[in-house]
Amino acid sequence: MLKQAPICILLCLIGYLANSQTQLQQNWFNESELLKHVKTLSSDAFEGRRTGTKGAEKAKKYIINQFHALGVKPLTNKYSQDFSFGRRTKQYEATNVLGYIKGTKHKKKYIVISAHYDHEGIKQGQIYNGADDNASGVGALFSLAEYFKNNPPEHTVILAAFDAEELGLKGSNYFTKNPLVPLRNIIVNLNLDMISRSEKKELFVVGTETNEHFKSIIESYKKTPDFKLVIGHDSNDKLENWTYSSDHANFYKKDVPFLYFGVEDHKDYHEPTDDYENILPKFYIKAVNAIISVFKTIDTTL
């Protein structure tokens, strides 16, 4: 019995650490708050968050208020990076919302975590609320900010809520062409766009084909029956190529490494039925936890 005691103690310790890690991950952010943010941003009150509308202005103010409440510092004056552009016969006034959390070790090296906050607005009297696309990504930005309050990152993190993604990736295009930090100092862009629902319980990750380190991180993430991180939709598989499908494209064009997290299209994609009631909360929470886990590994190994 004396010889077996150290083994028992070791097994108990391993079990304790495993349970502690699980408990820690569960407490990375307030799950109810995450869901509340998505429900709010995708409510009729925001009128589909079309760029240049009152709904978009309301969304911008909401994001700024949350950043401020969560201790995210403004990267620009009052968090706003204003820009304008023309599309077809219309001129748009738009705003990126940008905040940052200073790194503890690599203050001049940056990880940009992005999510676009605009959507389709109102068409023929119907509000396109864009719960999955992309209130889900913006909600995740808030959960990440909450995580950073208790777990300061080693690299400085820029949280970017981009405008006008639906109108041609205009917000990220402006950001990368008018950088507020040197692009060479951005080590990766993690882009979140549609992360709250998948009948197959799959969250795809694009961008690993040119970075073996990122690939190993994603491949090592434990798959479960109710959640899987899946490498795919790059240029080297038979799936639709998503390399240019969202804001990460503009970082890729500037030779900034990226990882894009997103689900495959569903029946409510770009439909007025993309409502909060149709997201999958349990999957969404697991998705945000997975993104934080991937971030944590990148932050501490690069």
- Condensed to tens digits (0 to 9), the pLDDT of residues 146-195 reads 999 999 999 999 999 999 999 999 999 999 999 999 999 999 999 999 99
In a domain, 66, yes or no: yes
- The yes-or-no verdict on residue 17 having pLDDT over 50 is no
Owning domain of residue 268: 30-301
- Condensed to tens digits (0 to 9), the pLDDT of residues 199-218 reads 999 999 999 998 999 999 99
- Condensed to tens digits (0 to 9), the pLDDT of residues 217-235 reads 999 999 999 999 999 999 8
CA angle 87, 88, 90 (to 5 degrees): 65
Predicted structure pTM score: 0.91
In a domain, 216, yes or no: yes
HEC readout, the chain: CCCCHHHHHHHHHHHHHHHHHHHHHHCCCCHHHHHHHHHHHCCHHHHHHCCCCHHHHHHHHHHHHHHHHCCCEECCHHHEEEEEEEECCEEEEEEEEEEEECCCCEEEEEEEEEEECCCCEEECCEEECCHHHHHHHHHHHHHHHHHHHHCCCCEEEEEEEECCCCCCCHHHHHHHHCCCCCHHHEEEEEEECCCCCCCCCEEEEECCCCCHHHHHHHHHCCCECCEEEEECCCCCCCCCCCCCCCCHHHHHHCCCCEEEEECCCCCCCCCCCCCHHHCCHHHHHHHHHHHHHHHHHHHHHC
- The yes-or-no verdict on residue 280 having pLDDT over 70 is yes
pLDDT band for 77, please (50, 70, 90 cuts): confident
In a domain, 138, yes or no: yes
In a domain, 158, yes or no: yes
Number of domains in the chain: 1
pLDDT band for 26, please (50, 70, 90 cuts): low
In a domain, 19, yes or no: no
In a domain, 17, yes or no: no
In a domain, 191, yes or no: yes
In a domain, 7, yes or no: no
What pLDDT sits at residue 3?
Answer: 37
CATH number of the domain to which 278 belongs? 3.40.630.10
How many Å is the Cα radius of gyration of the chain?
20
Q: Other C-beta atoms within 10 Å of 175: how many?
A: 25
